[in-house]
Amino acid sequence: MGDSQYSFSLTTFSPSGKLVQIEHALTAVGSGQTSLGIKASNGVVIATEKKLPSILVDEASVQKIQHLTPNIGTVYSGMGPDFRVLVRKSRKQAEQYLRLYKEPIPVTQLVRETATVMQEFTQSGGVRPFGVSLLVAGYDDKGPQLYQVDPSGSYFSWKASAMGKNVSNAKTFLEKRYTEDMELDDAIHTAILTLKEGFEGEISSKNIEIGKIGADKIFRVLTPAEIDDYLAEVE
Amino acid sequence: MSRGSGGGYDRHITIFSPEGRLFQVEYAFKAVKAAGITSIGVRGKDSVCVVTQKKVPDKLLDQSSVTHLFPVTKYLGLLATGITADSRSLVTQARNEAAEFRFQYGYEMPADILAKWIADKSQVYTQHAYMRPLGVVAMVLGIDEERGPLLYKCDPAGHFYGHKATSAGVKEQEAINFLEKKMKENPAFTYDETVQTAISALQSVLQEDFKATEIEVGVVRADNRIFRSLETEEIEEHLTAISERD
């Protein structure tokens, strides 16, 4: 890809053996808005802050949590435009799998293919790594799953994870609160409480987004009204 | 132990700096301001209006050829703030894309889909070293059949949002502060109020009263969805209405 003039990788090893561009990409992720995910016994929830640059922005026009397939959803921390590219590529890969095998793509496969794309951009000529980390939430025959994919292309399955500005506080909070037998509704409450921990200002249904998937295997973004109900329960 | 800057190239092409920033993208934003004009867009209840300064640097120039307001289709307008050459390139590509969309899908390209296309293209330039980001902020306006008036702004970083009102260019921040106050209570502006809010916002932040020939105004209305650039006489009427109001 890219012009022949740039047929060399921009991500190269430093003398200490590090890939510095990837580290910088992780820094970009770390200064992005906080997002998190929790895997419950009967589903997965992902959530993110939705802080817009001005009150003049029409918040209904912005949706940070996106579907990749009817039963897999994703959210990011980092650079929004890079996220859109990955969503588009992942959706296409999922569709191609469906067309070939006449079966919905398993969550692990989709995560692996997305991660491969991200890795390619750390090695190909004339491109920079993606400035996003993704949380992928899905429910397939293997049950509920939550994966985190980093700019390097490495991915892990998580019981609960957080990314972005408030990552260390959020992870500490999640470590305390997480239990193996948590149910989806508890997980949603915990997710809201975790977001609240580092939230600057008043948390409301207008400045967070929540997506969930249960045993029905349908990934859904909650409406502001539903978020209000959960917020009231948390109070 | 991180190793200084990216070999000094992080300022020349779009690779990450040690702080995780893309300097070329940030410089592209500065290039938009360097063009020396300010633009404003306001979305009303059933119309959208965009306004920009019309600075003609040389008296020998043909004034009618100096414009930043471009129809992309009959129903979609694009106000480009920034480097003129980059704007024209973007508009040409946008026109092509909108025409292909109409042919492929059988209906007019909506404003938000065009905005997304522009933003996705801009993102490519922020990730591939061989092309620099464009020094343009594009405001796309149109009346959507299902969702009503739409105003979208796309920037060199590849971000795009729908706006109730927005601004770009030299006095962008001052204009946004002005508009935030006006739009705080979520008013539902009529067509005249929309146009006059946009024009008076520009006058206020630039602290000058304009003549009709010194600004360009573009509108779309629910009762006339064709994107139009207002004639000098119509701009005069609005300017008069504003000064009589104050």
**What is the strand order of the sheet B38-43 is part of?**
B165-169, B38-43, B47-53, B215-221, B224-229
| CB-based contact B42:B179 (threshold 8 Å) | yes
Inform me whether the pLDDT recorded for A1 exceeds 90.
Answer: no
So what's the pLDDT on residue B63?
A: 86
So what's the pLDDT on residue B6?
A: 56
A77 interaction partners in chain B (CB closer than 8 Å):
none
**What is the percent of chain B where pLDDT is above 70?**
97
Question: Tell me: the pLDDT tens digits for B34-75?
Answer: 999 999 999 999 999 999 999 998 989 998 889 999 999 999
User: What gap in Å lies between CA B157 and CA B22, rounded to an integer?
Assistant: 9
Q: What is the mean pLDDT of chain B?
A: 93
ipTM: 0.71
Q: Which is nearest to B20 in space by CA: B40, B45, B47, B2?
A: B2
Q: What is the mean pLDDT of chain A?
A: 94
Across the range A100-118, mean pLDDT stands at 97
Across the range B101-117, mean pLDDT stands at 97
So what's the pLDDT on residue B3?
A: 43
Confidence (pTM):
0.83
Inform me whether the pLDDT recorded for B2 exceeds 50.
Answer: no
Bigger pLDDT: B53 vs B245: B53
Q: Which two tokens stand for residue B8?
A: 């000094």
B22 interaction partners in chain A (CB closer than 8 Å):
128, 131
Chain A / chain B CB contacts < 8 angstroms: 126
Q: Are B158 and A81 in contact (CB < 8 Å)?
A: yes
Question: Tell me: the pLDDT tens digits for A26-68?
Answer: 999 999 999 999 999 999 999 999 999 999 999 889 999 999 9
Q: Which is nearest to B15 in space by CA: A164, A154, A27?
A: A27
Across the range B128-145, mean pLDDT stands at 94
Across the range A208-216, mean pLDDT stands at 97
So what's the pLDDT on residue A226?
A: 96
Q: Are A24 and B18 in contact (CB < 8 Å)?
A: yes
A128 interaction partners in chain B (CB closer than 8 Å):
14-16, 22, 127, 129
**What is the percent of chain A where pLDDT is above 70?**
98
Q: Which residues, listed in sequence order, are joined to residue B150 by a DSSP beta bridge?
A: B142
